[in-house]
Amino acid sequence: MLTHIIDYLGEYPPNYGPEWGSGGIFGLKYHKGVLYYMLAFEAQGYFIDRGGIRKIYEFEKLGFKPVSGGDTYNAVYAIDDSIYFGGWVHAPAIYRGRTSKGATIDFRNKYSHVHKYDISNNEVSLIWKESMHDPEKWVGEISEIIYDPYEQKLLLARADGHTNLGVYELDPSSGKTRKILDEPALKGAINLDYACFSIHYFPKSFNGIECVDLIERKTLIDKFDPGKYTIDDGDVLYPLVGPVSSLYGRVFAFMKGGVLVYNPVLGEKYFVRLLDIPYSQLGPARANAKIFGGGVIVPYNMFVHSVINPTNEFEEKAKKATNTIISPTLLLYIAPPLVKIIGAFGARITSVEVIGDQILLAHNTMANTYRYDASPYDQGIRGFTVLNTSIINNSPPSVTIVVPGWMIKDKVFGGIPLTGYRYPELIIITKKENQLTINEYMFTLPPMLTHNEKISINSGRNRIHLNNYSGIVSFKFDKSLNEDDLVIIYLR
């Protein structure tokens, strides 16, 4: 399967596509012998089979060239003989150029869109499009497409934009839409008789779960702070929304800091801290999660967003946080109670697909940047990596995470999966005495806190062996770390 298709998968260097920094390769979907993906910011939809490239779609049915964008959230769904893909696109794109603050683009030709690719006929059709035609604002992008098997309609999640946010129902035959959930929704999945979505508000991001009953069309809006439901009683800072999956009869809402497990019928909600460095951006934003073997593969990316030209205090802090690189991007496999690191990679993984016994990863060297960081071309080098699915059961990669004190302060951090590591350890370099609480817990359903203890930290270099712990471990200092203190997590 992939053996033949991989011959047609290339590397994409910087190319024309006015936008903020870099997009990536999104929406990887293999269906009925055809691989689809969207190349952003060039706004090119690729359809490839074992015979070669079937079609490259460049939004000629939506607007005029030059185009840019396409999709940056993996909005794709395949059913029967169709691949539905959505997102956003500038058609035509307008690069304004540089000013004293930085460089900007014009949004008056930015559209949100949904298309259908017919596999048998090798044809793309435009189902729906919408635009504000405003130079500074845009309508909600399409960040998720879910097929409703009961009403046979498409459910569209929309949170990134200035208006028309929420969940919309789209009739693919008529192109008509109807809003069914009011809260801004970024990602979602079908769970039991419901379709559930992560509520997203910028800049805090995750703000709860909203669901629609697919049978009766009743709605459920559940706003809450995920930090109230942590297994280790710590806060969850800046829980930037990532993908949502359905597993074990629950919703798994991935975000920076970990994963929220939710059941709309039983009222379950609990947060499992994973790979949480409080004031960093390590997390699963702008990536998808792929079901495999009854579990799920999900990337936690290190370099998703970046601020280059800040204009206020918030952006200055964001510049420091987004451009401080402390960890590789880590690929997780989760099949409760198993949580395992299965890969370590560069800047970010934008999309994941499994084809036969191979895992196809789309990767990018550059982040999506901020409002005054526009460029007339995509700034990333984008491409593909192929792994064998045997990595699920192989030894995990060696990983080093180096964290300055200002990224931790006095917050709970960690959520480090220890599965497969023989010599995990924690190095703490500090100028003052402190106390460190270590929490050990298991990602069972519900999760279980199995042990916690407090140990003394001396001024200077401290080495703590973690091979006596199992499952997942998180940590908290009694006294806030100094800015130049250092915490190093070695996993070997």
In sign, the C-alpha dihedral spanning 56, 59, 65, 68 is: negative
Q: What's the Cα-to-Cα distance from 77 to each of 118, 153, 193, 359, 413, rounded to whole Å?
A: 13, 12, 19, 18, 35
pLDDT of residue 187: 99
pLDDT of residue 100: 85
pLDDT of residue 122: 99
**Segment 322-344, tens digit of pLDDT:** 999 999 999 999 999 999 999 99
At residue 2, the 3 state secondary structure works out as helix
Tokens of 417: 């999966």
Tell me how far apart the 2 most distant CA atoms of the chain are, in Å.
69
pLDDT of residue 1: 64
Burial class (CB in 10 A: 0-12, 13-18, 19+), 189: buried
Q: What are phi and psi of 428, to 5 degrees?
A: -120, 120
pLDDT averages per 10-residue partition of the chain, 492 residues = 87 98 98 98 98 98 98 99 99 95 96 99 99 98 98 98 99 98 99 98 93 98 98 97 98 99 94 99 99 99 97 94 98 99 98 97 98 96 98 98 99 99 99 98 98 98 98 99 98 98
Q: How many residues does the chain have?
A: 492
Considering the entire predicted model, what is its pTM? 0.97
Q: Which CATH fold topology does 400-491 show?
A: Hypothetical Protein Tm1070; Chain: A (2.60.290)
pLDDT of residue 359: 98
pLDDT of residue 4: 87
Tokens of 397: 């990669």
